[in-house]
Amino acid sequence: MALALFDLDNTLLAGDSDHLWGQFLVTRKIIDGPHFEAKNNQFFEDYTQGTLDIQAYLAFQLAILAQFEPATLYRWRESFVTEMVLPIIAPQARTLVAWHRQRGETPVIITATNRFVTGPIAQALGVDHLLATELEECDGRFTGRSSGIPCFREGKVLRLRQWMQENRTSLDDSWFYSDSHNDLPLLAQVAHPVAVDPDPTLRQMAMEKGWEILSLRQSTLPTRV
């Protein structure tokens, strides 16, 4: 089966779900606002600049999940997705996913954001296959640590190759849509790399390499769709 791979944050979404989850917790006064926001914003800036220490970020972000009962977390998550994520699904995201499905290609979301945050978002977008940073659990609770290879930069390539081996597929005639220069390792692997509402570094790279540049935040998609 041919694959249509999609980054999530700032690609299918017109925003960053991981960053917004932190903002949601601050707004609800679940966590300390000024301290958390300062660190959260700094990690987001590091990501933008391509200098993010993924392990340090995960230790910071996932520690919150270990503090609360899963039932409480899932209740908060439901409100979060409804209030903050569904409104920022890019206008043409579902149309593009549907176009690939009609062509017989298998949509897969591949994201650095953890599965706790992204699981219901993938469901809302109608995508059955999700590769995300996995969370460690013990006795039915999150430990505050990640599990396995974080799905970030070169880790996306490794995680995807594991998944393809398990599902007996390949990158032949594959697509990958992303907004971020952090995804250059995977963009370089696919047959059809597409820069979606790209950051300046990725836009420049896409122009130099002749990759398609696309916006999912417009009212229509290009004629190929």
9 in active site: yes
Residues found in the chain:
225
53 included as an active-site residue: no
Domains of the chain: 3-214 (3.40.50.1000)
Read off the pLDDT band of 224 (50, 70, 90). Answer: low
| 112-137: pLDDT as tens digits | 999 999 999 999 999 999 999 999 99
Q: What is the overall mean pLDDT for the chain?
A: 95
Catalytic residue among 7, 18, 179, 199: 7
Where does the pLDDT of residue 225 fall: very low under 50, low under 70, confident under 90, or very high at 90 and above? Answer: low
* Mean pLDDT (whole number) for 187-193: 97
Q: What is the 3-state secondary structure (H, E, C) of 71-138?
A: HHHHHHHHHHHHHHHHHHECCCHHHHHHHHHHCCCEEEEEEEEEHHHHHHHHHHCCCCEEEEEEEEEE
Q: What is the pTM of this model?
A: 0.95
Dump pLDDT digits (tens) for 17-42.
999 999 999 999 998 878 888 888 89
For residues 118 and 129, give the distance between their C-alpha atoms in angstroms, rounded to a whole number. Answer: 11
